[in-house]
Structure 1
Amino acid sequence: MRQLLLLLPLCGLLHSAPLLAQPVNSYQQPAPAVRELLDTPAQPRLLIAPDKQTVALLELRRFSSAEELARPTLRLAGTRFDVASSGPTGVQGVQKLRLRSLLNAEAPERNVELPAGGLFHDFAWAPDGQRFVLHRRTEQGTELWVGEVATARLRAIPGIKLNEVLVQDEQAWLNPRELIVTVLPERRGAAPQQRLALAPVVQESIGRASPERTHPDLLKTPLDEALFEYHARSQLAWVDIASGASRELGAPALFSSVSSVGEGQYLLTERVLRPFSYTLPWDDFPTVVELRHRDGRLLRELTRMPMRSGVAIDGVLAGPRVFYASPFKDAAVYWIEALDGGNPNTRVAFRDRVMRLDPPYTGEPMEVQRMPHRFARLRFLDDGQHALLSEIDRQRAWTRTYLLPLRGSQSKPLFEHSLRERYRHPGNPLMRTLANGAQVVQSQGGAELLMAGVGASARGDRPFLDRWSLKDLSVQRLFQSSETHYEMPQALLDDGRRLLTLRESASEPPNLVLREGQVLTPLTKLRDNQPQLRKVRRELVNFKRADGVEMSFWMYLPPDYKEGERRPTLVWAYPLEYSDAAIAGQVSGSINRYNAFSGISPLLLLQEGFVVLYDATMPIVGDLKTLNDGFIEQITMNARAIIDKAEDLGVSDPKRMAVGGHSYGAFMAVNLLAHTDLFKAGVARSGAYNRTLTPFGFQSERRSLWEARDVYLRLSPLLYAHQIKEALLLIHGEADNNAGTQAFQSERLYQAIAGLGGTVRYVLLPNEAHGYTARESAGHVQWEMSQWLKAHLGDPHAGP
């Protein structure tokens, strides 16, 4: 049988030969040890209230279900939404909610009773930490619920049905009790339906370059346009969560963003306009940015951003873009404007500038700062006088952060580093929440920053907390995690006397701890719920490839591993690009992190006896403009170094090794099979294998297909399918929503290899996106990977 094409309605399996016997029309379950781990609830998520007095423990549903994924969904203009609830798909449901005091470690936890019916999701604290909000999905819509910390009780806000098609998991707080949300218009009528009379769909481009990425779920027909407009149209509504009162503000529109300006005096809104595009997602459609009174009345139109077509690769719009509202009483509005026409290839002294407009918003904006490179981020300090302004040098893959005075003098450089830098990374500033819900940088009146980071080093991560003086840029280390625990700072309390951290070890799940000097007071007491993983051995292994570039991998040995055994081994990796070889060798991860594997992690194969070399570094080093010219040679050099090191360690048999990866890692894995004989088998999940179908760039590639034709062709393993002699397992989500990795990429590769007589298996997971979220899918993916590796590397317990 040269080729057998079989579609299973549930597990969506396509295969070329019945190598793995299984019943039709069913998802498969992995081995009992793996199944037990999949069915163990996830550890609760810990969310600290803004006032640092309470922590919410959210027990989230670990997986959705195949039935959940099959709910009626629309995929329009690059977005996906649940039709019944006008909300996002694949939400993580809250199964249990508990509250614990951070002031009294002995106080008992309090359960918040979640009423039956519907699915609660999207927990958010009110700015003062005295209340919180939750959304509940029902078949009639998405409701808004509010909870009181004092009583641990929930109640619904009457008459509110949220519309989260465009504005998802976002609310604009005016103060701790008032917020603005987007809701369904009361009188929107029935959804558009297809008319009997059809017409051609016509697109036209006349003499203007528009290098667009390959986006999924785009509009295709006039009916799609009408459906998008119908479902995305929303109404602004004011809500008082204390009293439950609400009222509509203004007229319905395609609102895509709403935020509070100042101390709740005004609103900054963005709404989508026609014409729509069939080649771009909705967030590239024309948009109008407006200032409104808090009652919804229009105050001033700030700009109309045109369709984002004709923009150069890695370019930006030429006019105003990226708007920020000051969270302080001054109520200023800031935005960014390009000084290079939006084209990164234009040579200019300054590429972007920051603009500001002050109340009453009737005058002309002022220029605040010019930047030599492209704007990246703006974060306000809590002194109301400064902000942190970050830019990115695209040519060097470099970032720089300034202290920006919002009025008056010029900015002051604070720190800069490579985008890939880990060892010298200064960390991220600790933030605090204002009464209007805005997140601002803690600064002690503009005098200092508190910077928390992972503390990467050649021996692994050791989180730290530093105090940066904004006067002389001196740095004082206040805390660093010990060599026995991974402890991430969360907040500095009582003028620095006490430190709140999230502390974990290889055998202890993350728990909140209050640290006063060397005295530790546990604030939460989560226990290890997967003790079987403590038998897994984990070791950071450092080595060099042939040209001297430093590399590493995390070696995971199965629970039953015995010294001297050479087990079948899976190498799991993801390529990363670097302009500096020294940075390419930097280590990530820590031996002290709590082992808790995701449902589709290849590390679950440890329970079946395989050795897994995880997060194996796969550096691609060179000039960022032409980096991919040597992609094949560098991943080959990397793979040889990994195999040689695993053989030297005595844990792997080089003749029984497989390579795997997800997304760009899958692309890497298939290229290794196509261009080398280093591995006996491969696992490729949700990848892209024909680069001519992503002709305007991919990953970090900035050149188009017509500028680097040979590179695109050589890096398309589909064109080298005749050289893939090793067994290849392809897995893909049927509804992949990632740009450039639609499921037909795997389907075409499967057809090519099968047609050429190769050994290949293609698993198409129904309704799954780029990542796989259903419990049935997770179990089936684990079963597929295990069976494939056993079939082609041998049973780990059977010997060579």
Structure 2
Amino acid sequence: MKLRVITILVLSISLSLFQAEVIAQGTYQTPPKSIADLVNAPSTPSVRFSKNGDWMLVMERSDSPSIETLSQPELKIAGMRINPATSGPSRQIGVENIKIKKTQTGEEIQITGLPAQPNMGGMSISDDEKYMVFTQSDADGISLWLVDLTTNSAKKLTDKIVNDVYGNSVLWTPGNKLLVKAVNPTRGSIPVRPSAPAGPIIQETTGDAAPSRTYQDLLENPYDEALFAYFMDSQLMEIDLEGNKKPIGPTGMIKSMDLSPDGSYLMVDLIKKPFSYLVPASRFPYDVEIWSKEGKKVKALAQIPLDENRPTGFDATVTGPRNINWRADKAAMLYWVEAQDGGDGRVEMKERDIVYTLAAPFSGSKQKLATSAYRFGGIAWGDDSFAILSERWSSSRKDMRSVINPSNSSQAKQVIIDRSSDDLYNDPGDPVMTENEFGELVLLRKGDLLYMRSPGGSDEGDMPYLSTFNTKTKEETILWRSQAPYYERVAKVLNDDATEFITIKESTDIQPNYWLVNTKKRIAPQQITNFDNPYESIKGIQKQLVTYERNDGLNLSAVIYTPEGFEAGKDAPLPVLMWAYPREYKSKEVASQVRGSQYSFTRVSSGSPLFWVTRGYAVMDRTEMPIVGEGEKEPNDYFLDQLVANAEAAIDEIVELGIGDRNRIAVGGHSYGAFMTANLLSHTDLFAAGIARSGAYNRTLTPFGFQYEQRTYWEAPEVYFNMSPFSFAHKVKTPILLLHGQADNNSGTFPIQSERYYNALKGHGATARLVFLPNESHGYAAKESINHMLWEMDNWLEKYVKNKNEIEVSK
């Protein structure tokens, strides 16, 4: 008898160990069919219009790549992810087919002669619209292909010479030639990793403060530096339509290139040493040079230093020239901005930023164009007497736009828009642009009237509109507006008075398609495209936008989806999946605004929670989680209290509507939504389970700020501690599923965040499961990974939410 007991005990231990080993190793799983059918649905093509809108490119994208594709060799250096075999970006999902569609007749033309195994990108159309080029990425390099738009046929233009590691790689010249950033033909073989280090890796600081956010994939040693220099090594080439090549200028680590509007000059950014182990390549030192179109250096415009010592805060910036660009309304005139406050937003100054210009041949002195009391946000050019200057201030959410006279810098700017960037209800939108004689985008206007496209925020949700905006009176006149039960917005204006335009029109169960609208001729809108609904299986689900109040009177909103045929009050309440992402505001009034549209198409992306409507759940999506800090107080001073109040209000609403079962509600989110989820489980017992994907849980690992928190850990240690779910892992009693891409490259969400948080939960006896998805970044891409993620989520919800009562009875 004892022998039998011992045998059974040994067998049980062996089975337990085997089970633990299988769970630890794992194999990719597939979710239930109702979920798998949705996630594997074909993607909708993307489009691009011709200048006058008489035809459009229709680009069909590939499905999700396989895990084998995602697992190809990859270099993670200087904040970049490079495919060393191609000298291009890794993890790229290309276009697999291109068609031309006539907007007036609907005729569709297939581009012939495309690559046999298409993985296309970087589509660029010549100024005269007779040709288009695209890059084709193969396993061993990137080539350039040419499409003749008069015959709609493609041909290979170059061998695999394109260097697409960083920045833009292809430009059209006015004469229908191409400037291509090619791999330096003489760069040689890839550096070989030394068999032993030459010595220790040393970093030293000499007293200058260098606060830095938690960047990923940085340089770590001299070998990484050698690799970075090798893959950045480029040669500009001029290539004609027959594929003949001519080198332009010297080789170098070319960061970016940009032709003047008339094609006479070329601005080139060249990265130089010293490199940094603290910041990514975008903040390495570089020279800005102006070349002739033949490649001869005309002017050394600026020497931009290493950007390691930037002051703290979202309104901090670099010293010296920045945002160097060509004026769109001039043949060859540069403009840029220089901070007057040392780049420190905490310094009070009347003229914080100054915009300068310099005209060809660049031998004169820079000219002062405009000043800004805030941070420069860009210029929309019209002509030499009219442009729109944008100014922004992150900490206060300031968004200000003014009319300036480029020909008279002494003329005071005229403020036309002064609002909070978070304020949707008072957003007049952005100006409609048109192309000038150089093929550059400039303002479409009639005298003092601008044409504007607005998202149309309202108490009913977004109802986009097209309007004129009078820059003298600041009055707008709505020319056209989306009407319920559709969500429709203007994609392209086709004429000078904005009476003819193309819209994207959709509704909850009607796939977005393009329509031709003419308000002057008063003819019925004409449908241009007929993209199929890839989600026919959920056409019958119900969708409603609900609004409700928080305990302090703040208005909140969410979109609730329920299964087809469900009747609240008649059918039994459903298990609920609540999905959210917190946002910080400086105004209660703005925080309470309704966001999104109840009429938008129910699109099911791979990260969406909507799959579970097919599994008998109610889904509470876009659940507003505003965190408000008015005046001198920062939103995060109230993070936990307001987060809990938001969740309580949302739960009360869905329960009182007769839709949700209060005892069977799960909460989940991705990234900052995962952080939110872990906090709610730490400080409440409101939920049956939680799902946290790719989150950060210990804020001391992001000590120089995170999300919209500008203060450092040393300035607000109590905020960092109290907001960290890691600090309260001992309080979690609700089952939580943690998922994370093992190659997450997002700032702050290192995979170790989930690993350490799981260990803390495990050490305090919580019910938790940690799933690392191999080779996945912050968002998951491989088909196997996405399917497995959905399988994990479904199992968790079925066990701890839908069947929660059965588990409790069994206990």
TM-score by length of 1: 0.94
1:174·1:436 contact (CA, 8 Å) conserved in 2?
Answer: no
Which letter does structure 2 place at the counterpart of 1:526? Answer: F
Which residue does the alignment assign to 2:412? Answer: 410
Residue 660 (structure 1) aligns with: 668
Q: Measure the CA separation in 2 of the matches of 1:420 and 1:641.
A: 22
1:528-574 Cα shifts (integer Å, max 9, x gaps)? 23211211111000001000111000001123634332111111111
Aligned partner (choices 611, 617, 637) of residue 618 of structure 2: 611
What CA distance in whole angstroms lies between the structure 1 residues aligned with 2:318 and 2:452?
33
Per-residue deviation, 1:347? 1.2
Distance 1:483 1:29, change over 3 A: same
Aligned pair count reads 781
- In structure 2, C-alpha distance between the alignment counterparts of 1:265 and 1:223, rounded to whole Å: 39
The reply on whether 1:670 has 2:670 as its aligned counterpart is: no
Deviations 1:642-664 (A, max 9, x none): 11111101111111111111111
Task: Give the match for residue 13 of structure 2.
Answer: none
Residue 526 of structure 1 corresponds to 531
The amino acid across from 2:398 in the alignment is: W
Paired residues of 1:136 and 1:142 also in contact (CA < 8 A): yes
Name whichever of 568-577 and 328-337 sits farther off: 328-337
Q: Write the distance in 2 (CA, Å) between the matches of 1:727 and 1:131.
A: 57
2:739 to 731, 734, 737: 731
Is residue 233–residue 252 contact of structure 2 (8 Å, CA) maintained in 1? yes
- Give the alignment of 1:312-391 within 5 angstroms: 312-313=311-312, 314=314, 315-381=316-382, 383-391=383-391
Does the aligned pair in 1 maintain the 2:695–2:754 contact within 8 Å? yes
1:266: Cα distance to partner? Answer: 0.5
Tell which structure's C-alpha radius of gyration is larger: 2
Q: How does 1:90-489 map to 2 (within 5 A)?
A: 90-105=91-106, 107-117=107-117, 119-159=119-159, 161-168=161-168, 171-175=170-174, 177-198=176-197, 199-240=199-240, 242-313=241-312, 314=314, 315-381=316-382, 383-408=383-408, 409-434=411-436, 436-444=438-446, 447-489=448-490
Indicate conservation of the 8 Å contact 2:744/2:751, yes or no.
yes
- 1:583 aligned counterpart, secondary structure: helix
Letter in 2 for 1:667: F
Report if aligned partners of 1:331, 1:358 keep a CA contact under 8 Å in 2.
yes
SS in 2 for 1:669: helix
**Equivalent runs, 1:465-614 vs 2, <5 Å:** 465-496=466-497, 497-517=499-519, 518=522, 519-559=524-564, 561-563=566-568, 564-614=571-621
SS at match of 1:203: coil
- Aligned with 1:608: secondary structure? coil
CA contact (8 A) 1:570 1:660 kept: yes
| Separation in structure 1 between the aligned mates of residue 224 and residue 413 of structure 2, nearest angstrom | 47
Q: Which amino acid aligns with 1:531?
A: E
The DSSP-based 3-state class of the residue aligned with 1:336 is strand
* Percent identity of paired positions between Structure 1 and Structure 2: 34
SS in 2 for 1:254: strand
Task: Find the partner of 2:766 among 752, 758, 766.
Answer: 758
Write out per-residue CA displacement over residues 125-175 of structure 1, whole angstroms, 9 at most, x where no aligned residue: 33333322221001231111121222221111124611111124x533332
- Stretch moving more, 482-491 or 336-345: 482-491
Residue 795 of structure 1: how far off its partner (Å):
4.2
2:113/2:155 contact within 8 Å kept: no
Aligned-pair CA distance for 1:352: 0.6
Answer whether contact 1:173 1:436 (CA < 8 A) is retained.
no
The verdict on how the C-alpha distance between 1:20 and 1:75 changes in structure 2, with shifts beyond 3 A counting, is: closer
Q: Does 123-132 or 216-225 show the bigger shift?
A: 123-132
Counterpart in the other structure of 1:8 = none
Deviation by residue 1:634-686 (Cα, 9 ceiling, x = unmatched): 10111110111111011111111111111111111101111111112111111
Task: Return the offset for 1:471.
Answer: 4.3
TM score, norm. by length of structure 2:
0.93
Residue in structure 2 matched with residue 777 of structure 1 by the alignment:
785
Rounded to whole Å, the distance in 1 between the matches of 2:17 and 2:432 is 54
Name which structure has the greater RCO, CA cutoff 8 Å, separation 6+.
1
CA distance in 1, matches of 2:696, 2:350: 38
Query: In the superposition, relative to structure 1, how do residues 276 and 379 fare at CA in structure 2: closer, same or farther (>3 Å)?
Result: same
Measure how far apart 1:50 and its partner are. Answer: 2.3
Matched AA of 1:387: A
Contact 2:508 2:543 in 1 (8 A): no
TM-aligned CA deviation for residue 74 of structure 1: 0.5
Whether the 8 Å contact between 1:560 and 1:609 is mirrored in structure 2 is no
Assess, with a 3 A threshold, how the Cα gap between structure 1 residues 262 and 124 changes in structure 2: closer, same or farther: closer
Distance 1:387 1:176 in 2: 28
Q: CA deviation at 1:798?
A: 8.8
Distance in 2 separating the partners of 1:535 and 1:458? 26
Secondary structure in structure 1 of the residue aligned to 2:700: helix
Q: Equivalents in 2 of 1:151, 1:73: separation in Å?
A: 39
C-alpha distance in structure 1 between counterparts of 2:615 and 2:246, whole Å: 58
CA distance in 2, matches of 1:20, 1:569: 33
Distance of 1:98 and 1:747 partners within structure 2: 46
Whole-angstrom distance in 2 between the partners of 1:758 and 1:222:
43
8 Å Cα contact 2:559/2:621 also seen in 1 = yes
Larger displacement relative to structure 2 (401-410 or 770-779): 401-410
1:741 is matched with 749
User: How far apart in 2 are the matches of 1:460 and 1:719?
Assistant: 38
Q: Residues 219 and 502 of structure 1: is their aligned pair in 2 closer, same or farther, counting only changes over 3 Å?
A: same
**8 Å contact kept, 2:690–2:736:** yes
Residues 389, 604 of structure 1: alpha-carbon distance in 2 compared, 3 angstrom cutoff: same
1:658 alignment partner, SS class: strand
1:186 Cα offset (Å)? 0.7
* Cα root mean square deviation, aligned: 2.2
Q: Do 2:551 and 2:645's aligned partners in 1 also have CA atoms closer than 8 Å?
A: yes
Structure 2, unaligned runs of 5 or more: 1-15
Which region of structure 1 is more displaced relative to structure 2, 80-89 or 734-743? 80-89
Cα displacement string for residues 163-220 of structure 1 (whole angstroms, at most 9, x for unaligned residues): 111124x533332723322110111111111223411000011111111000000000
Look up the equivalent residue of 1:462 and give its one-letter code.
M
Partner amino acid for 1:612?
V
Q: Distance in 2 between matches of 1:17 and 1:538?
A: 45
Q: Indicate conservation of the 8 Å contact 2:392/2:400, yes or no.
A: yes
Matched, 1:788 2:796: yes
Partner Cα separation in structure 1 for residue 776 and residue 333 of structure 2: 43
Q: Give CA deviations for 1:591-634 in whole Å, capped at 9, x if unaligned.
A: 22111210121111211111111010000011375321110011
Matched, 1:627 2:635: yes
2:525 alignment partner, SS class: strand
SS in 2 for 1:535: coil
CA distance in 2, matches of 1:245, 1:385: 42
Conserved 8 A contact 2:96-2:118 = no
- 2:659 maps to a residue whose letter is V
Q: Which residue of 2 aligns with 1:12?
A: none
Tell me the amino acid that sits aligned with residue 378 of structure 1.
I
Q: Give the distance between the partners of 2:495 and 2:702, measured in 1 at CA.
A: 54
Q: Judge conservation of contact 1:618–1:635 (CA < 8 Å) in 2.
A: yes
Partner SS, residue 34 of structure 1 = helix
Give the drift of 1:327. Answer: 2.9
Deviations 1:205-261, CA, capped at 9 Å, x for gaps: 111111100000000000000000001111112233x44333221111111111111
C-alpha distance after superposition, 1:721-779 (max 9, x if no partner): 10011101001011111101011100100111112211110110111111111111111
| 1:46 corresponding residue in structure 2 | 47
Deviation at 1:490, TM superposition (A): 2.2
- Counterpart residue identity of residue 682, structure 1: G
Please name the residue that 2:716 is paired with. 708
Instruction: Check 1:482–1:694 CA distance in 2 against 1; reply closer, same or farther (3 A cut).
Output: same
